[in-house]
Amino acid sequence: MNNDKDIVRSILSGNEKDFSLIVDRYYQKLIYFFFKMNLAREDAEDIVQEVFIKVYKNLYKYNEGWCFTTWLYKIAVNTFNDLLKKKRLKTTNIDVDTLESDLNFKDLSIDNVHNRIIVKTMLDSMDNETKTIMILRYFYSFSFKDIGVIVNSSQDAVKMRVCRERGRLNKMFSENVKGVRSL
Amino acid sequence: MKCKYDIEFIQSYNDNCLCKEEKSEFERHMRNCSKCSTAFAKDKIMLSYFKKTPDEPLNNLHKQKLMNSIPSGRYSGNPKKYSFLYSINRFYPRLRFALLAAAVIIIIATILFNLSHVYNIYNTGASFFNKDTDDYYNGNNAVEDLIFDNTSTVTPLATLKPEEKDDISNEYSKDDNYLSDEELIMNIHSFFYEGEEYLIDYDFGIKKLTQSGDVEWHSLRVESYYESGYDYGYCNIFFCDGEWLYYTKVYSGGGSGEGPFDPNYGMFGKVKIDGSERIEYPGIEMLYPVFYDDWIYYRPNLFIPPLPLVPTYIHKVKRDGSSVTQVVSSKKCQYFFLKDGELYYWHTEYGARHVNQAEFIDMVSSFDINTGEEKFGFISIDQLYEVNEFKDIIEKTVRYLNELQTH
């Protein structure tokens, strides 16, 4: 069974063991999603577990007209937001003050530790919904339309938000980036 | 050289959304523009961060633990049920619009269906007694009022000339001890208690009719206007069985439109004439109540939002407040009335109909009260005297009017 919808149908017709196929497919992706949302490992694992339990319980509500991945991430994002509201989750933020002395990129590599800290700092300056949108767009390559479905917004609004956020981040830090000339 | 590229263009370049010519032109430009190359670099680094897979390794033990935590048996225990629900969900988006459209159609149809009914309610009420519009002589309403109200005095008033009627009104309505002609008409329903005759007041309670023709308030009052400060209603005492007075409080709407709506405003109640006991049944608002065989037949008040959803059928309730039942499902049934001890209801199109036999009887459906000319139907105003209920009421009214004039 390569198709998510076939797996769902199979589970609903009584083959519950097939749910492990869904877990196999999406466990890693969901864990990474919450890592990228700056959750600690324990929190990320707890929330992924909660998401899969919700997916299992509500599987019969899934509509074949929707993309399964979109539906699953919608549940994940809603669960994340619910837990944040209940303050059961705490995202780890980087202390921006320690970076103020040098906010310049060292080179064009994200593997550079300094650069990575700077970008993490940028991410911390975003609200959770914007961060969610950016991750869904650039880590998972979701379309603007699907992201709109996941975060309950319109396609155009998401597109505009991504564009503005990238512009804002670009302006946020010092213009001096070393290594640009090597392009 | 002035730079013509903005950040959005640079983002498009990084997203690989430009055509080949635009790309090569921009790349040439970037070699000489530090601003663009810097913006490009920062955007690229940020994107690479978003795109980069986290370094943290996965915990396979947790995955196994997760699988064990998934509850089992939900779908294998009842596959038919969930397969059915799943197939319903497939059509839900289209079904949703269909249901919405159906709901809108039902609401509009209900409103339209009720409009004529509501109009009839208004048309058969107190407007008959509106002297400003001279509705005393509106024959179309007159018969209906005569029949359902049991208190109407159409004939005596009609025999007076308008000037005389006005004289009575002007002279006596100034004094609280006397009833205005409007009050008189509304309150002419009376009863005897311990040898004295009492008039039932439409609004507040009982007025005692003295030998001299004076009117004084009986100690028992039934309050009608609600104390909410916004909403108002009226009380109608409609029957006396010698021990109890039966009344209904009817919600009439918000005075300013700002008041809270309380569906329990309206009620059916009874109070002993000596005031020693009172029982009220909230939620039963009666329009045109009439007693028959230990039951009170009535039309539920319509002034309760949402209007189209309120049942408009005729109901009956036992005088002890129990067993409220819908008795006539036809929306053409406007109200009940008694004739020769039998219960009839007024059909808005065909006139009167016996409640049990469901046969039409010959009744006046419209006439000009001023000229006595019958527009429809088969009996004259004189024949209405033969209906005992009307005869008593009319005689009392005539006597009372004479007393007032004498006074």
**Which segment, A132-141, B167-176, B217-226, is predicted with the most confidence on average?**
A132-141
* Among B37, B46, B76, beta carbon nearest to A16: B76
CA–CA distance, B108 with B10 (Å, rounded to integer): 55
Tokens read off for B187? 């309150």
Domain boundaries, chain B: 1-46
CA–CA distance, A80 with A90 (Å, rounded to integer): 11
- Beta carbons of A183 and B37 less than 8 Å apart: yes
Strands B286-292 and B295-300: antiparallel
CA–CA distance, B128 with B134 (Å, rounded to integer): 8
Average pLDDT over residues A104-132: 69
Residues A82 and A159: beta-carbon distance below 8 Å: no
* Among A13, A16, A167, beta carbon nearest to B7: A167
Domain A94-177 belongs in CATH node 3.40.50.720: no
Output the average pLDDT for chain B. Answer: 61
Cα maximum dimension of chain A: 61
- Beta carbons of A65 and B59 less than 8 Å apart: no
**Residue B265 confidence (pLDDT):** 60
Phi, psi of B378 (to 5 degrees): -135, 0
**Residue B283 confidence (pLDDT):** 74
- Give A81 or B44, the one with higher predicted confidence: A81
Strand partners, B366: B376
Distances (CA, A) of B163 to B159, B166, B171: 12, 5, 12
- Beta carbons of A49 and B69 less than 8 Å apart: yes
Residues B213 and B406: beta-carbon distance below 8 Å: yes
**Site of tokens 């837990």:** A83
**pLDDT tier for residue A72 given thresholds of 50, 70 and 90:** very high
* Percent of chain A with pLDDT strictly greater than 70: 76
* Among B45, B69, B82, beta carbon nearest to A53: B69
CA–CA distance, A68 with A29 (Å, rounded to integer): 14
* C-alpha A160: how far from chain center: 18
Cβ-based burial of B406 (10 A; exposed 0-12, middle 13-18, buried ≥19) = exposed
**Residue B364 confidence (pLDDT):** 45
**Site of tokens 């405003």:** B265
Domain boundaries, chain A: 1-92, 94-177
CA–CA distance, B130 with A66 (Å, rounded to integer): 64
**pLDDT tier for residue B321 given thresholds of 50, 70 and 90:** confident
How many CB atoms are located within 10 Å of the residue A132 CB?
A: 22
CA–CA distance, B369 with A132 (Å, rounded to integer): 79
**Residue A179 confidence (pLDDT):** 43
Could you tell me where the beta strands, DSSP code E, fall in B155-221?
190-193, 196-200, 205-209, 215-221
pLDDT in tens, B366-394: 444 445 444 444 343 344 445 444 555 55
CA–CA distance, B269 with B296 (Å, rounded to integer): 12
pLDDT in tens, B96-118: 788 899 999 888 877 765 554 44
Residue B300 has pLDDT above 60, yes or no: yes
DSSP B54-106: PSSPP-HHHHHHHHHHS--SHHHH-HHHHHHHHHHHHHHHHHHHHHHHHHHHH
pLDDT in tens, B40-74: 877 887 787 778 787 777 887 888 888 888 887 77
Residue of B nearest to A159 (CA): B8
Of A48-52, A162-166, B29-33, B253-257, the range with the lowest mean pLDDT is B253-257
Strands B366-367 and B351-354: unpaired
**pLDDT tier for residue B223 given thresholds of 50, 70 and 90:** low
Phi, psi of B326 (to 5 degrees): -85, 130
Give domain A1-92's CATH architecture: Orthogonal Bundle (1.10)
**Residue B138 confidence (pLDDT):** 28
CA–CA distance, B301 with A37 (Å, rounded to integer): 59
**Residue B55 confidence (pLDDT):** 75
Among A117, A121, A164, A124, residue whose Cα is nearest residue B11: A164
- Beta carbons of A60 and B82 less than 8 Å apart: yes
SS3 A120: helix
Cα maximum dimension of chain B: 117
Q: How far is B2 from chain A (nearest CA, A)?
A: 18
**Residue A77 confidence (pLDDT):** 93
- Give B395 or A76, the one with higher predicted confidence: A76
